[in-house]
């Protein structure tokens, strides 16, 4: 087997996608001496504002994709919903990490669950559903409550519905008609947790401390690190994540979202083969941020140390904060244990991720209290 190519500082990294994950990746890459090109359908994107070159074209524009790939040394991703055909066009001209096969699995909920199930990874019960009749059969097998989710292109709670006993299944199915879906067992969990794992081209892996996550309206609200879980659960979660990265043949970064149950067992919920919202704490609080780690992995460099410099907590800043005017940035910047990150998005919208705050503390709980207090302070000048 030939040795994997290494891309040293000075190389050009291509990023498919233009959001905030690519923006923070570009910051890490440029700090280490790399050039960054970004490709997405939009202009003046969060990534494009930091990139050396921004290309605005459709992902199904074969000529634009090929021209983009010719100008970079290695290509990676800031979100997984890139058409596999697009990745294959790019792979004709540059190294692509992670491979199209990884995206193919992770961008489709049913394929992902079937892959994990076949690999022996513990999961909530699930059934593929393609009609109202199949939904009724799946409910009879899995039971209620359950969650019906689109098979493809779902994120932040979009494309899903909880089904409770007594619900009309024909009505529940109506918004999903014509699309593939998955019915999942509703899990009564103790905590939602996630693990970031990097895997290099040589098979080396490195996992981050387990993140404890709290969601609001299906969107991540708060991440606390380290998670308040037992050492045994921490070890189990990190081992699960590393094992999944190996089974995928990943070269890059993977976020594994999990449920911790009352009996100490862990079920895997979802995969994201890229940096993840729950890993934003690492930008400030880790020896090696998730974004630098992605860069190291896709460039064939040694992976960095993942230890935390301090207990930390991250809170998302959604567009709702702008509803009554500009947030009070000065109030937050006066707090010495808090870091502000804004993503360069011009239009605040309800539910849109506009930025985040990271706070530090002697304990994770203190960090979480500071992060939440800082977000509340943003509303101070608005009389809230």
For the chain, what are the domain ranges? Answer: 12-96, 125-185, 191-382
pLDDT at 283: 98
pLDDT for residue 231 is more than 80: yes
CA quadruple 265, 269, 273, 275: dihedral sign: negative
Under 8 Å between Cβ of 121 and 137 = no
Distance CA(104)–CA(321), nearest Å, equals 36
Average pLDDT value for residue range 120-148? 95
Average pLDDT value for residue range 273-284? 98
Domain covering 12-96: architecture: 3-Layer(aba) Sandwich (3.40)
pLDDT for residue 206 is more than 50: yes
Q: What is the pTM of this model?
A: 0.95
pLDDT for residue 381 is more than 50: no
Average pLDDT value for residue range 45-59? 98
By C-alpha distance, which of 111, 103, 30 is closest to 254?
103
- 331 band by pLDDT with thresholds 50, 70 and 90: very high
pLDDT for residue 68 is more than 50: yes
- 137 band by pLDDT with thresholds 50, 70 and 90: very high
Q: How far apart are the first and last CA of the chain?
A: 62
* pLDDT per residue as tens digits for the range 96-113: 999 999 999 999 999 999
pLDDT for residue 1 is more than 80: no
**Top-level class of domain 191-382:** alpha beta
Rg of the chain (C-alpha set): 21
Average pLDDT value for residue range 186-206? 97
pLDDT at 158: 64
Q: Please state, rounded to an integer, the average pLDDT across all residues of the chain.
A: 95
Average pLDDT value for residue range 232-259? 98
CA quadruple 107, 78, 74, 4: dihedral sign: negative
- 178 band by pLDDT with thresholds 50, 70 and 90: confident
- 156 band by pLDDT with thresholds 50, 70 and 90: low
pLDDT for residue 333 is more than 70: yes
pLDDT at 152: 81
Under 8 Å between Cβ of 300 and 201 = yes
- 157 band by pLDDT with thresholds 50, 70 and 90: low
CA quadruple 362, 219, 119, 108: dihedral sign: negative
pLDDT at 382: 43
CATH placement of domain 125-185: 3.30.1490.20
Distance CA(107)–CA(84), nearest Å, equals 10
Average pLDDT value for residue range 314-336? 96
Q: Render 288-310 in DSSP notation, one character per residue.
A: S-HHHHHHHHHTTPPPPP--BSS
Q: Residue 257 gets which letter from DSSP? A: E
Under 8 Å between Cβ of 241 and 207 = yes
- 180 band by pLDDT with thresholds 50, 70 and 90: confident
Q: Which residue has the higher pLDDT, 66 or 158?
A: 66
- 2 band by pLDDT with thresholds 50, 70 and 90: low
pLDDT for residue 19 is more than 90: yes
Looking at 23-159, which runs of residues are DSSP E strands?
35-40, 53-56, 74-77, 95-96, 126-129, 146-150
pLDDT for residue 182 is more than 60: yes
């Amino acid at each position: 087997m030939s040795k994997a190519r290494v891309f040293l500082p000075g190389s050009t990294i291509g990023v498919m996608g233009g959001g905030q994950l690519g923006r923070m990746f570009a910051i890490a890459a440029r700090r280490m001496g790399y050039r960054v090109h970004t490709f997405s359908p939009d202009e003046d994107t969060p990534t494009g504002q930091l990139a050396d070159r921004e290309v605005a074209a459709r992902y199904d524009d074969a000529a634009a994709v090929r021209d983009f790939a010719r100008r970079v040394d290695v290509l990676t991703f800031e979100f997984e919903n890139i058409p596999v055909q697009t990745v294959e066009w790019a792979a004709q001209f540059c190294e692509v990490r992670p491979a199209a096969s990884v995206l193919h699995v992770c961008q489709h909920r049913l394929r992902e669950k079937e892959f994990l199930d076949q690999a022996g990874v513990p999961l909530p019960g699930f059934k593929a559903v393609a009609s109202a009749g199949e939904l009724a059969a799946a409910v009879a097998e899995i039971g209620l409550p359950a969650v019906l989710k689109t098979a493809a292109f779902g994120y932040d709670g979009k494309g899903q519905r909880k089904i409770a006993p007594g619900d009309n299944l024909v009505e529940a199915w109506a918004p999903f008609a014509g699309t593939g879906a998955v019915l999942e067992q509703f899990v009564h969990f103790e905590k939602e947790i996630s693990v970031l794992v990097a895997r290099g081209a040589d098979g080396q892996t490195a996992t981050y401390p387990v993140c404890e996550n709290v969601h609001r309206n299906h969107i991540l609200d708060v991440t606390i690190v380290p998670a308040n879980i037992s050492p045994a659960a921490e070890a189990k979660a990190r081992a699960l994540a590393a094992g999944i990265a190996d089974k995928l043949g990943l070269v890059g970064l993977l976020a594994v979202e999990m449920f911790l149950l009352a009996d100490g067992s862990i079920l895997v919920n979802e995969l994201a083969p890229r940096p993840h919202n729950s890993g934003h704490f690492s930008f400030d609080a880790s020896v090696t941020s998730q974004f630098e780690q992605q860069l190291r992995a896709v460039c064939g460099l040694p992976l960095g140390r993942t230890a935390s410099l301090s207990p930390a907590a991250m809170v998302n800043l959604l567009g709702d904060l702008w509803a009554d005017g500009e947030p009070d940035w000065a109030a937050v910047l006066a707090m010495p244990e808090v870091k502000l990150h804004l993503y360069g998005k011009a239009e605040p919208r309800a539910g849109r991720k506009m930025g985040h705050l990271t706070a530090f503390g002697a304990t994770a709980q203190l960090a979480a209290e500071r992060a939440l207090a800082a977000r509340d302070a943003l509303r101070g000048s608005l009389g809230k």
